[in-house]
Amino acid sequence: MEIGYGMGEATWQIAKANPDINYIGVEVHMPGAGKLMAKLAEHEITNVRLIERDVFEVFHYMVKDASLDGAHLFFPDPWPKKRHFKRRIIQDRFLSEIATKLKPGAYLHIATDWVPYAEWISEVFSKSTLFIGGVIARPDSRPLTRFEGQGISKDHAVNDFRYLKV
């Protein structure tokens, strides 16, 4: 599952590289859906399904417990203003809900180019008993997206995290 696929750049590339794995893309804002669907059609990729819903609704109504092998959360909105921190997806509630949907040993891969958000992610996960893991080197399997390129051009440090469900 890719949560918040944006324009879908990583989604179609990962799905194309892994044609025997099925992917679900979940996005609450749909401007990128058309672009992603065009790329899927252009490359004849058939192992992706898209859902336009809040991920918490998807977890509640559409995903069976212990059914996901992994999830990607690449460059979620960091909500940099303190008064907006409550809107950040990485919260205790998210960890609790995604943990019920992941199989034991399944992974959660997160990437951010906002250092204060990376620190937040580390802190939230450090308090959780549901996951083990932490910062990793950027894996070759994660495509470089336009959004990430923009962050790099602004000298933003990119942090990748990989957590495994206990």
Are residues 162 and 107 part of one domain? yes
Here the tokens at position 117 are 């958000």
Are residues 55 and 37 part of one domain? yes
- In this structure, are residues 32 and 5 in contact, taking their beta carbons and an 8 Å threshold? yes
Are residues 4 and 58 part of one domain? yes
77 flagged as catalytic = yes
**Rounded distance, CA 28 to CA 107, Å?**
22
pTM of the entire predicted model: 0.94
Which domain does 24 fall in, by range? Answer: 1-63
- The single residue of 20, 77, 113, 160 carrying the catalytic annotation is 77
Helices (H), 18-140: 33-42, 55-62, 92-101, 115-126
**Rounded distance, CA 32 to CA 109, Å?**
21
pLDDT tens digits, residue range 28-63? 988 889 999 999 999 999 999 999 999 999 999 999
Are residues 32 and 72 part of one domain? no
DSSP summary character for residue 91: S
pLDDT tens digits, residue range 69-90? 999 999 999 988 999 999 999 9
Are residues 76 and 58 part of one domain? no
Structural domain tally of the chain?
2
